A and B are shown apart, each in its own frame.
Chain A
Amino acid sequence: MGVLADRLDSLRVRATARGGRIAAELHHRTEVSLVFGAGSYHRYDERLLEQDLASLARALWAGRMKAYYQALSEAFEEPVTGEPRPVTPRDVEYRNARDRIVARGESSGGHIVISVRGMRDWTVRIAPGTVTALTADEFADEAAAAGGALVRDQFAQIRGLKDRIYG
């Protein structure tokens, strides 16, 4: 394993929502874990959870990109703070197509679906009655599974897009 690969594997990014009512972590590139603060789960309804999970996801990915650029800076021994400007027509095509990618992750029980367009516009859908039907731990596992599936879907689509445009 290379230095950068090791570094990306070991990235751990954390974020919280609503003053610590929910805490989430992105680790091992595509794994997500989630935990509710004591007694906070049952204060939620589905709509409020959708909003908080979406803002958690947004914060996690922003934190991930910041840590990723820091890892790139160390690996390439030059400051990397963002993406290079598109230079060739293929770069422009790639950037435009990537911004249209819709990645999606669904929990195994089907209660939670998370989707994102261009890794910017996040949407979370929670089936009605889920908060009553699931315990806090069960919900956290379902949400984490949906989040992990989304990240894997994003990377799979990126690989396909790169093969199509640059391959």
Chain B
Amino acid sequence: MSYSDLMGHAAEIQRKAVDKAIEDLGGRRHSRSYMSEKRPEIEAQFADIPALFAPFTQIPEPGSFDPPIASMGRVLGVLSSGQTPKDPISDDVYPANIILDKVPGAESYIEDWTGKAAMDFKSFFIDPFPSVVSNQFTVAAILKAGLEAEKSLWSGARTDIDTIAHKVLAALDNMDDCGKNEWTIGFTVLASIAFVGATVFTGGTAAPIAFTVAGGVLSTTAAAPPMSDPEPNRYSGESPAAVIAEMRAGIGDLTRCINEQERRIADSISKNHDLIAKDRTFFVSPRPALADATPGTVRDGAYLGYPT
């Protein structure tokens, strides 16, 4: 059994629950007149089972996150600068992009260029360029980590719903034995995402700006210790109705875990977005005033100015 046959598992659970409930009727199950009323009643009791599993066949394919993750990896490669540039979340080291070194190097080419535009170009573009690129690199790392967190979450969700199906089937087989029919499920979605706080830069503010970044566990193990395994949830049931009631509870628990993890990822990205919007100049070079010049004004003091 596996996730790819989830609806097959659901059908098997439903069939087994109905069969067991009928078996528990004892000798009465052999009465045709009794069963003509009882069987539909029992079948109705478990009719919701396929619908409980069906939404989990529509969840995102974890592999579908690979192309955008690879794409963000390429963005990191383009924005990689400085000495030993390292993804602050995954600790992956990217080779510095030597093309970026040409911008600060342009300063010597414009030594003879004077006027306001020349001074502004140096002050607002060339000088802060390394920091702006470094900050963009961090933002790209955060977005990549967000995508990896989504991949990890949905991969865990597939594992967990499949585990619920497997364990419920085993519980239906085990409930007539002598011991208490109890099973546990440790939801992997709870451990699928690690959060680390990264103090990235101080910029012009007095206090450091702390970025909260989310990433899949595999990509953050170097940045933060893996989260400890959460306490597993316990379920038990000694009749078909009780086992299926616990299955419904388990699916509800998993749904809540997924929603909670989604909220954590969304909160993290949203918080970062707010920080970027608040201090936009740290991430984007200012629009050159020359862009608003006209042929009539381009030589004014506010634009190119006059040579000294």
Binds B, one of A18-26, A32-40, A133-141, A159-167: A159-167
- Contact across chains for A75 and B180 when beta carbons are under 8 A apart: no
Of the candidates B12, B176, B242, the one whose C-beta lies within 8 Å of that of A2 is B12
**Does residue B177 face the partner (Cβ distance < 8 Å to A)?**
yes
Interface size of B in residues (CB-CB distance below 8 Å)? 25
For A165, the closest partner residue in chain B by CB is B238
Chain A residues with CB under 8 Å of B1's CB are 3
Q: Which of A68-104 contact B (CB under 8 A)?
A: 68, 72, 75-78, 83-84, 86, 91, 94-95, 98
- The contact sample of 5 A-B pairs, CB cut-off 8 A, is A75-B173, A76-B184, A155-B177, A162-B238, A166-B239
**Does residue A8 face the partner (Cβ distance < 8 Å to B)?**
yes
Chain A residues with CB under 8 Å of B184's CB are 76, 78
Distance between Cα atoms of A109 and B31 in the complex (Å) = 32
Of the candidates A3, A83, A119, A158, the one whose C-beta lies within 8 Å of that of B169 is A3
A5-B173 contact, Cβ under 8 Å, with A76-B183, A98-B178, A167-B238: yes
Chain A residues with CB under 8 Å of B242's CB are 166
B234 smallest CB distance to A (angstroms): 8
A91-B180 contact, Cβ under 8 Å, with A2-B16, A77-B163: yes
- Contact across chains for A159 and B172 when beta carbons are under 8 A apart: no
**Does residue A154 face the partner (Cβ distance < 8 Å to B)?**
yes
Distance between Cα atoms of A69 and B1 in the complex (Å) = 21
Distance between Cα atoms of A3 and B242 in the complex (Å) = 20
Across the A-B interface, the 8 shortest Cβ-Cβ residue pairs: A75-B170, A4-B173, A166-B238, A5-B173, A162-B238, A4-B170, A83-B179, A2-B173
For A7, the closest partner residue in chain B by CB is B173
Interface residues, chain B, CB within 8 Å of chain A?
A: 1, 12, 16, 24, 163, 166-167, 169-170, 172-180, 182-184, 237-239, 242
- Contact across chains for A4 and B174 when beta carbons are under 8 A apart: yes
Chain B residues with CB under 8 Å of A72's CB are 170, 174
Chain B residues with CB under 8 Å of A119's CB are 178
- Contact across chains for B170 and A158 when beta carbons are under 8 A apart: no
Interface SS of chain A: helix, strand, loop or mixed?
A: helix
Of the candidates B170, B177, B179, B182, the one whose C-beta lies within 8 Å of that of A3 is B170
- Contact across chains for A155 and B169 when beta carbons are under 8 A apart: no
A97 smallest CB distance to B (angstroms): 12
Distance between Cα atoms of A78 and B184 in the complex (Å) = 9
- Contact across chains for A158 and B177 when beta carbons are under 8 A apart: yes
Given contacts A2-B16, A2-B173, 20 further A-B contacts (CB under 8 A): A2-B169, A2-B170, A3-B1, A3-B169, A4-B170, A4-B174, A68-B177, A75-B167, A75-B173, A75-B174, A77-B166, A77-B167, A83-B179, A83-B180, A155-B176, A155-B177, A158-B178, A162-B175, A162-B176, A162-B239
- Contact across chains for B167 and A76 when beta carbons are under 8 A apart: yes
Of the candidates A2, A77, A84, the one whose C-beta lies within 8 Å of that of B180 is A84
Q: Which of B12, B166, B178 has the most CB of A within 10 A?
A: B178
A113 smallest CB distance to B (angstroms): 21
For A69, the closest partner residue in chain B by CB is B179
B119 smallest CB distance to A (angstroms): 69
For A98, the closest partner residue in chain B by CB is B178
Distance between Cα atoms of A98 and B181 in the complex (Å) = 14
Distance between Cα atoms of A155 and B178 in the complex (Å) = 7
Chain B residues with CB under 8 Å of A163's CB are 24, 238-239
A58 smallest CB distance to B (angstroms): 15
- Contact across chains for B176 and A4 when beta carbons are under 8 A apart: no
Chain B residues with CB under 8 Å of A91's CB are 180
A17 smallest CB distance to B (angstroms): 24
For A157, the closest partner residue in chain B by CB is B178
B26 smallest CB distance to A (angstroms): 9
Of the candidates A4, A5, A84, A154, the one whose C-beta lies within 8 Å of that of B178 is A154
For B186, the closest partner residue in chain A by CB is A78
A92 smallest CB distance to B (angstroms): 11
- Contact across chains for B176 and A158 when beta carbons are under 8 A apart: yes
A118 smallest CB distance to B (angstroms): 10
